[in-house]
Amino acid sequence: MTRFYLPDPVAMETLGVALAGALRNGGATVYLKGDLGAGKTTFVRGVARGLGVTGRVRSPTYTLVEGYELPDGMLYHLDLYRISGSGELEFLGVRDLEAPANRIFIEWPERVAPGALPSADLVLSLAVEGDGRSLTADAITERGRQLVQAWRSRAAIGKDA
Ligand code: ADP
Ligand code: MG
């Protein structure tokens, strides 16, 4: 388990950029847990930037999913907070988002039934801590472990564990 402390939004975004660096060699599925305001979208915005997305990165609050083309695949950013049931999930075609080169980031995965989503390589838990935020990373798969290792060595700031 790896823990980071991010004193401000810039540090959060920079940590996302660092994970993107570890994600250049292929896809993965990452869950983001934590209350509203914990910094999940800010983190994914950093990931998108780090993967070379130059346009606006909006929160998928109402659209539920936003997709970005990468040179070798897709970045999908989901926010399931407002999902209303399994019908909507089917409509989204979540299972079809999975491909070896796709990077999939899912806010609020706990809103849907376990097994309804691509399974996670990495689970990130974010929380408000004082004026800043904490982020804890749990690797679930071998790919997840590999990512955490590469990510840690890239994250020069905010690392306290
Ligand atoms: P979530 O997607 O988890 O609801 P957001 O990423 O939208 O959260 O962030 C909510 C607010 O918290 C935003 O105003 C954002 O700038 C701020 N924020 C993000 N990371 C940090 C941080 N490390 N320290 C302080 N504020 C942060
Ligand atoms: Mg959000």
Per-residue pLDDT of the chain (161 residues; tens, 9 = 90+): 899 999 999 999 999 999 999 999 999 999 999 999 999 999 999 999 999 999 999 999 999 999 999 999 999 999 999 998 778 888 889 989 999 999 999 999 999 988 899 999 999 999 999 999 999 999 999 999 999 999 999 986 444 43
pLDDT at residue 49, rounded to an integer: 97
Kindly give, in sequence order, each residue whose CB lies less than 8 Å from that of residue 7, ignoring residues fewer than 6 positions away: 131, 132, 158
- Closest listed residue to residue 80, CA positions, set 99, 60, 96, 66: 60
User: Is the C-beta atom of 132 inside 6 A of ligand 1?
Assistant: yes
Q: Write the burial class of residue 26 (CB in 10 Å: 0-12 exposed, 13-18 middle, 19+ buried).
A: middle
Other Cβ atoms within 10 Å of 20 Cβ, number: 22
Q: Are 15 and 135 in contact (CB under 8 A)?
A: yes
pLDDT at residue 24, rounded to an integer: 93
Annotate 42-74 with b (16+ C-beta within 10 A) or e (fewer).
bbbbbbbbbbebeeebebbeeebbbebebeebe
Which phi and psi angles does 119 have, rounded to 5°? -80, 150
Per-residue tokens: 55? 């346009």
Protein residue whose Cα sits closest to atom 27 of ligand 1: 9
pLDDT at residue 158, rounded to an integer: 42
User: Is the C-beta atom of 6 inside 6 A of ligand 1?
Assistant: yes
User: Is the C-beta atom of 37 inside 6 A of ligand 1?
Assistant: yes
Model's pTM, two decimal places?
0.95
- Ligand at shortest distance from the CA of 33: 1
pLDDT at residue 146, rounded to an integer: 97
